[in-house]
Amino acid sequence: MNRKLLSLALLGSTILGGAAAAEVTLTIESWRNDDLILWQDKIIPAFEAANPDIKVKFTPSAPAEYNAVLNSKLDAGSAGDLITCRPFDASLALYDAGHLTDLSDLDGMSNFSGVAKSAWQTDDATASFCMPMASVIHGFIYNKDAFAELGLEVPETEAEFFAALETIKADGNYIPMAMGTNDQWEAATMGYNNIGPNYWKGEEGRLALIAGDQKLTDPQWVAPYETLAKWGEYLGDGYEAQTYPDSQNIFTLGRAAIYPAGSWEITGFNAQVDFAMGAFKPPVMNAGDTCYISDHTDIALGLNAASPNAEAAKTFLNWMGTSEFASIYANALPGFFSLSNHEVAMEDPLAQEFVSWRGECESTIRSTYQVLSRGTPNLENETWGASVAAIKGSKSAADLGMELQDGLASWYAPQK
Amino acid sequence: MKKSGIKWHVVVFLAPALLVYTAIMIFPLFNTLRLALYTETDQVRHFVGLDNFRTLFGNAHWSGQFWNALGNNMWFFFIHMIVQHPIGIALAAILSHPRLRFAALYRTAIFVPTILSFVIVGFAWKLILSPIWGITPDMLKAVGLGWLYAPYLGKEEYALTTLALISVWQFVGIPMMLIYAALLSIPEEVLEAGEVDGITGFSAFWKIKLPLILPSIGIISILTFVGNFNAFDLIYTTQGALAGPAYSTDILGTFMYRTFFGFQLQLGDPHMGSAIASGMFGIILIGVCIYLFGIQTRLRRYQF
């Protein structure tokens, strides 16, 4: 009896499915489980309202399994039409293997800057294979109440930054800066790659390093380590064993005044703090210098080369280049900023603060992500260790530069 | 009646165990050794002979990491030998004392950590030792030893020893139980005969009991050796795959994991990973052989 019902139901669904086939259904592969509601309630209805003959399904898998699941689906030919792209080499490998389509000619692509597209391009930048979605911006989040209490102004220059840290330390009520070195990546991501772009002049230095015109032993690449070496005394007691969640908790509990941050913290922090928060960008050397920020490309969407619905998928990708998509996405996930050139009005004040820097400063991405972390030793991983060593003072900045340069030169031809 | 040459029942009874063991132990082992002889370029796997091993031992970057991991592993094992064994033996000796009360309670309490998951042990100790939320700084201060405290897991000079001691804390129950069993199996007559000759108390332990439990200590040592050189979980849960600070807690297991599966931006390299795994296998094999042929055969056994 049950089986009969089931087969009837199945039969019914096939007929209905057949009827719906006049419309195209697009399936999106993603690792963003967390965004399922956002897609179902906001993004997809907005798109379907504008394109009634295209239906969209968002089918995420677990983040840790995404790469493996996606690869096997692509090999078996059962992957969805649209593929969420990880930045750089993971997606480049998919493109090289013929799984992703070249999207360079898509109209929507014109809404993105070169930096925004760089994470999903071939090394010579001739082909772009994913439509950029969002980036995260680095800077410092601070406790506004603590700053008011101590009569501190938001620091603009490095001298002011260290003066502020000194004041907080002298007062003794707050830990000047909440960061630990136990997990290592914060030191590199929120330390070195946060303040560094001001030294190596953002894209200019990053591209010169890739081209082999600059070396990691050059002053602009070593100096950030010298600055990090001064951070050590302003981190809390026992920062050597302080983990990432420890740092987050110390800051949200109001025990620390400054938190070297990435904008992805905004949602979590908003839910936890009971004081006013503000943000300031990485301090520059002298007042009035051009500022550079790390506006790191994080997520994009590509087209499965084997998709039977390529035309519909391209419609969707073009729509992703519009300001409508940018505004929905950025407001639902404050801290993940649209990569497009549109002006996006955001409601979250902290997110507004972060994104306002784009207008004042030059954007760049983390220096180690493109090309330079392809070999062994892996420059990104080595940078984690080097940043920690700099903060702890266990090695001099010059030595760290030499070590990193030796490691990079051992496999990367332009640096030999 | 003619007897069949093959004892079929032996084959039938052995087959399931042998099949399972072959499928999940022997085959993967040899496949790993085989994988170490290949490499992959442009998504095509091809045979390269011993090239991976040449890279591992010849390239300064790889060999530096390998020797560092091996050295750390040796130290990890050394701490176990000099701390875990004496404490295990002492605990067993105390527990086997006939007039000790609540022996079963102590035995259970000391053995319980052994059955806990590495993840629980790792996180619990990380919290206990944490400079921010941990109870260690306050406890040390309360007894006037505040100056002794350091963020142990974050300091290059202490981290590995601290982790080794955590591992000892977790596993001290195993030598204790094995030696306790060995001590209980020593017949009363032997001890009484010693007493008649005037050997009592401590000297009875050193002269009669210890020689009799040496074979057990040997077995425990080799189990510890194999366990330590295959260790991975504790370091991974507390320090992550990069085995910080500055690779000071990197052991062969974490080095192999990082290489085989990749980490962060580094893509995994199953072939180099297999080469390291083969190296680990070789080291353990040599260690076990030294024990089997050099030590075990010389241990004197006593029959009662």
Q: Which one-letter DSSP state was computed for residue B148? A: G
pLDDT at residue A5, as a whole number: 52
Q: Is residue B22 part of a domain?
A: no
Residue A261 and residue A408 in one domain = yes
Q: List, as one string, the DSSP characters of A148-189.
A: HHTTPPPP-BHHHHHHHHHHHHHH-SSEEE---SSSSHHIII
- The tally of domains found in chain A comes to 2
Q: Is residue B35 part of a domain?
A: no
B119, B233 in Cβ contact below 8 A? yes
Among the listed residues A362, A403, A356, the one whose alpha carbon sits nearest the alpha carbon of residue A383:
A403
Q: Is residue B239 part of a domain?
A: yes
> Domain of A80?
2-134+297-348
Residue A214 and residue A306 in one domain = no
Q: Is residue B5 part of a domain?
A: no
Taking only the tens place, the pLDDT of each residue in B228-240 is 999 999 999 898 8
pLDDT at residue B270, as a whole number: 86
- What are φ and ψ of residue A194, in 5° steps? -85, -55
Q: What radius of gyration, in Å, describes the C-alpha atoms of chain A?
A: 23
Residue A150 and residue A247 in one domain = yes
Q: Is residue A354 part of a domain?
A: no
Q: Mutation target for B interface from A179, A182, A237: give the one with most B CBs within 10 A.
A: A182
Q: List, as one string, the DSSP characters of B193-245.
A: HHHHTT--HHHHIIIIIHHHHHHHHHHHHHHHHHHHHT--HHHHHHHTTTTSS
In this structure, the number of other CB atoms found within 10 A of the CB of residue B229 comes to 21
Residue A163 and residue A249 in one domain = yes
Q: Mutation target for A interface from B236, B265, B276: give the one with most A CBs within 10 A.
A: B265
* Cα(A201)–Cα(A191) distance, integer angstroms: 16
- Neighboring chain B residues of A410 at a CB cutoff of 8 Å: 61
* Cα(A293)–Cα(A202) distance, integer angstroms: 7
- Neighboring chain A residues of B132 at a CB cutoff of 8 Å: 236, 238, 242, 246, 250
Q: Is residue B267 part of a domain?
A: yes
In this structure, the number of other CB atoms found within 10 A of the CB of residue A231 comes to 24
Strands (E), A255-391: 256-262, 277-280, 292-303, 337-338, 362-364
Q: Mutation target for A interface from B39, B127, B132, B157: give the one with most A CBs within 10 A.
A: B132
> Domain of B272?
68-298
* Cα(B179)–Cα(A408) distance, integer angstroms: 52
* Cα(B222)–Cα(B214) distance, integer angstroms: 12
Q: Is residue B224 part of a domain?
A: yes
A258, B142 in Cβ contact below 8 A? no
Q: Give B155 to chain A, closest Cα distance, Å.
A: 7
pLDDT at residue A20, as a whole number: 44
A195, A369 in Cβ contact below 8 A? no
Q: Is residue B41 part of a domain?
A: no
**pLDDT over threshold 90, residue B4:** no
- Closest residue on chain A to B59 (Cα): A410
Residue A226 and residue A251 in one domain = yes
pLDDT at residue A402, as a whole number: 94
- Neighboring chain B residues of A407 at a CB cutoff of 8 Å: 61
Q: Does B47 touch chain A (CB under 8 A)?
A: no
- Neighboring chain B residues of A180 at a CB cutoff of 8 Å: 154
**pLDDT over threshold 90, residue B243:** no
- Neighboring chain A residues of B269 at a CB cutoff of 8 Å: 376
Q: Does B267 touch chain A (CB under 8 A)?
A: yes
- Neighboring chain B residues of A388 at a CB cutoff of 8 Å: 244-246
From residue B156, alpha-carbon distances to A181, A388, B130, B195, B299 in Å are: 12, 11, 16, 51, 39
- Closest residue on chain A to B65 (Cα): A377
pLDDT at residue A388, as a whole number: 94
CATH code of the domain covering residue A273 = 3.40.190.10
Look up residue B84 and give its two tokens. Answer: 């875990």
Strands (E), chain B: 38-41, 44-47, 262-263, 266-267
- B303 pLDDT band, cuts 50/70/90, is low
Query: Mean pLDDT across the stretch B273-284?
Result: 94
Q: Is residue A162 part of a domain?
A: yes
Q: Does B48 touch chain A (CB under 8 A)?
A: no
- Neighboring chain A residues of B261 at a CB cutoff of 8 Å: none
Residues in chain A, overall count: 416
Q: Does B151 touch chain A (CB under 8 A)?
A: yes
* Cα(A326)–Cα(A112) distance, integer angstroms: 11
Q: Is residue A360 part of a domain?
A: no
pLDDT at residue A75, as a whole number: 81
Q: Give pLDDT tens digits along chain A (416 positions).
A: 455 555 555 444 444 444 444 578 999 999 888 788 888 988 999 999 989 999 999 999 877 668 777 877 888 889 999 999 988 888 888 898 889 999 998 888 988 888 788 889 988 888 999 999 988 999 999 999 999 999 999 999 999 999 999 999 999 999 999 999 998 989 999 999 999 999 999 999 999 999 999 999 999 999 999 999 999 999 988 899 999 999 999 999 999 999 999 998 898 898 889 999 999 999 999 988 999 999 888 899 999 999 999 999 999 999 998 888 988 888 888 888 888 888 878 888 999 899 889 889 998 989 998 888 888 888 988 999 999 999 999 999 999 999 999 999 999 999 88
Q: Is residue A243 part of a domain?
A: yes
So what's the ipTM on this one?
0.82
Cβ <8 Å between A236 and B131: yes
**pLDDT over threshold 50, residue B120:** yes
Instruction: Return the SS3 of A235.
Output: strand
Angle at A45 between CA A39 and CA A48, to 5 degrees: 120
CATH code of the domain covering residue B113 = 1.10.3720.10
Q: Is residue B56 part of a domain?
A: no
* Cα(B110)–Cα(B94) distance, integer angstroms: 13
Q: Which of B43, B246, B265 sits opposite A388 (nearest CB)?
A: B246
Residue A385 and residue A240 in one domain = yes
Q: Give A176 to chain B, closest Cα distance, Å.
A: 15
- Closest residue on chain B to A94 (Cα): B43
Query: Mean pLDDT across the stretch B258-283?
Result: 87
* Cα(B189)–Cα(B193) distance, integer angstroms: 6
pLDDT at residue A21, as a whole number: 46
Cβ <8 Å between A388 and B245: yes
Taking only the tens place, the pLDDT of each residue in B153-204 is 999 999 999 999 999 999 999 999 999 999 988 888 888 898 898 888 888 8
A26, A56 in Cβ contact below 8 A? yes
Residue A155 and residue A274 in one domain = yes
Residue A22 and residue A165 in one domain = no
Q: Which one-letter DSSP state was computed for residue A280? A: E
A377: cis peptide before it, omega within 30°?
yes
Q: Is residue A201 part of a domain?
A: yes
Pairing state between β A54-60 and B266-267? unpaired
pLDDT at residue A329, as a whole number: 87
Look up residue A360 and give its two tokens. Answer: 């004042």
Q: Which of B61, B245, B263 sits opposite A240 (nearest CB)?
A: B245
